[in-house]
């Protein structure tokens, strides 16, 4: 993919690059347009303790680099299966704790991505244990999962939550599959999180949901002190620019690294037009 022209163009649209410096350079560029960032060192489901240690090191390097840019508001986001969750909660925590300590030194925070549904219990357990020691840790919740409307009441008090629709192909008994049901669950969860005093990252590119969030937060006293919009690097850049222009708080999730394949596959699956764009360019390039 990265060696062919069409492959390079679609990868470059969604992934900042293979190296940390490319990600930092994207973060600085977005910062100039009043957009804050969150770096994701790509990778998931590592097979060995050593690979989990490599992922930890990559995050420690990212945090050391972020701390060299004092004016840059840049957090990080981690996938727990990259830090050893498949092995055990303890193994995962042993990799996560040094990252949380380094994030504190870099005056930033760490978010946990939510992966496919078999990992939800483990993820919430890691969150519960680690949040007791580090309040600079937050978690992503998926509105398409039926269980999320119960999970939301078990969260550590005031933990930061990133609310998304959900990106994995899941069996119908665990998720809502009609868009209208997912959107309604998203709106209900947002209301619950706001009422329960959480800090919320409204992570969506859906204009109707964004408008709903905007109306609700505008009507809440000091609402914008604990809500921000979040979007993915390369998705709806027009909307990103417009929200930033209107001075709404917006953070962009910036993935980088060599393990981009599963991430890219999810982005292609979300929007068939992306796949069509890739295939038509591939056919043109082969002529
Ligand atoms: P929806 O899919 O309805 O899209 C709304 C509009 O946005 C589309 O009509 C289109 O214009 C545009 N759009 C959306 N996706 C696009 C794409 N790939 N390419 C081009 N245009 C696109 N999921 C998860 O399961 N675990 C996680 O940890 C995270 N983390 C995360 C962080 C952040 C900051 C964001 C924004 C999203 C995630 N996600 C995620 C992904 C999320 O679950 C969801 O799959 C995507 O955000 C797409 O859903 P939307 O809410 O944008 O709505």
- Cα 114 to Cα 79: distance, rounded to the nearest angstrom: 7
Give me ligand 1 centre to Cα 204, in Å: 6
Assign 272 a pLDDT band (cuts: 50, 70, 90): confident
Report which ligand 1 atom has the smallest distance to the Cα of 201: 34
Give me ligand 1 centre to Cα 50, in Å: 31
Q: What is the pLDDT of residue 2?
A: 59
Q: Does residue 253 line the site of ligand 1, with CB under 6 A? A: yes
Q: What is the pLDDT of residue 119?
A: 98
- Stated length of the chain: 287
Assign 3 a pLDDT band (cuts: 50, 70, 90): low
- Give residues with Cβ within 8 angstroms of 10, minimum separation 6: 1, 264, 268, 274, 277, 278, 281
What number is the average pLDDT over the span 7-27?
90
Per cent of the chain over pLDDT 90 is 84
Nearest alpha-carbon partner for 153 in 113, 197, 93, 204: 197
Q: What is the pLDDT of residue 265?
A: 87
Asked whether the predicted pLDDT for residue 252 surpasses 80, the reply is yes
Q: What is the pLDDT of residue 121?
A: 98
Residues with a catalytic annotation lie at 113, 162
Q: Does residue 142 line the site of ligand 1, with CB under 6 A? A: yes
Asked whether the predicted pLDDT for residue 5 surpasses 90, the reply is no
Tell the residue nearest (CA) to atom 18 of ligand 1: 267
Q: Does residue 113 line the site of ligand 1, with CB under 6 A? A: yes
Asked whether the predicted pLDDT for residue 174 surpasses 80, the reply is yes
Tell the residue nearest (CA) to atom 26 of ligand 1: 114
- The average confidence (pLDDT) of the chain is 93
* 99-122 burial code (b ≥16 CB/10 A, e <16): bbebbeebebbbbbbbbbbebbeb
pLDDT tens string 106-132: 999 999 999 999 999 999 999 999 999
Asked whether the predicted pLDDT for residue 270 surpasses 90, the reply is no
pLDDT tens string 210-236: 999 999 999 998 999 999 999 999 999
Assign 283 a pLDDT band (cuts: 50, 70, 90): low
**Residue 244 near residue 238 (C-beta atoms within 8 A):** no
> Domains in the chain, ordered, with CATH?
18-259 (3.20.20.220)
pLDDT tens string 31-63: 999 999 999 999 999 989 999 999 999 999 999
Dmax over Cα atoms in the chain, in whole Å? 59
- pTM above threshold 0.85: yes
Asked whether the predicted pLDDT for residue 281 surpasses 70, the reply is no
Give me ligand 1 centre to Cα 287, in Å: 33
């Amino acid at each position: 993919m990265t060696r062919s022209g069409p492959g390079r163009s679609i990868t470059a649209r969604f992934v900042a690059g293979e190296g940390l410096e490319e990600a930092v350079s994207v973060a600085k560029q977005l910062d100039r347009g009043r957009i804050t960032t969150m770096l994701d060192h790509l990778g998931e489901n590592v097979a060995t303790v050593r690979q989990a240690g490599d992922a930890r090191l990559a995050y420690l390097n990212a945090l050391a680099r972020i701390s060299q840019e004092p004016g840059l508001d840049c957090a990080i986001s981690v996938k727990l299966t990259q830090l050893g969750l498949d092995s055990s909660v303890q193994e995962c925590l042993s990799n996560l704790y040094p990252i949380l300590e380094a994030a504190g030194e870099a005056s930033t925070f760490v978010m946990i991505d939510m992966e496919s549904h078999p990992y939800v219990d483990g993820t919430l357990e890691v969150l519960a244990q680690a949040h007791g020691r580090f309040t600079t840790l937050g978690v992503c919740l998926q509105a398409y999962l039926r269980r999320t409307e119960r999970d939301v009441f078990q969260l550590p008090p005031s933990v930061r939550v990133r609310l998304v629709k959900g990106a994995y192909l899941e069996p119908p008994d665990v998720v809502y599959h009609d868009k209208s049901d997912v959107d309604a669950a998203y709106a209900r969860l947002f209301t619950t999180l706001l009422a329960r005093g959480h800090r919320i990252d409204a992570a969506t590119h859906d204009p109707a949901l964004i408008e709903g969030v905007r109306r609700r937060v505008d009507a809440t006293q000091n609402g914008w002190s604990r809500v921000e919009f979040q979007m993915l690097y390369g998705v709806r850049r027009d909307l990103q620019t417009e929200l930033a222009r209107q001075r709404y708080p917006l953070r962009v999730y910036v993935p980088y690294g060599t393990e981009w394949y599963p991430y890219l596959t999810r982005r292609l699956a979300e929007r068939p037009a992306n796949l069509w764009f890739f295939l038509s360019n591939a056919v043109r390039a082969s002529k």
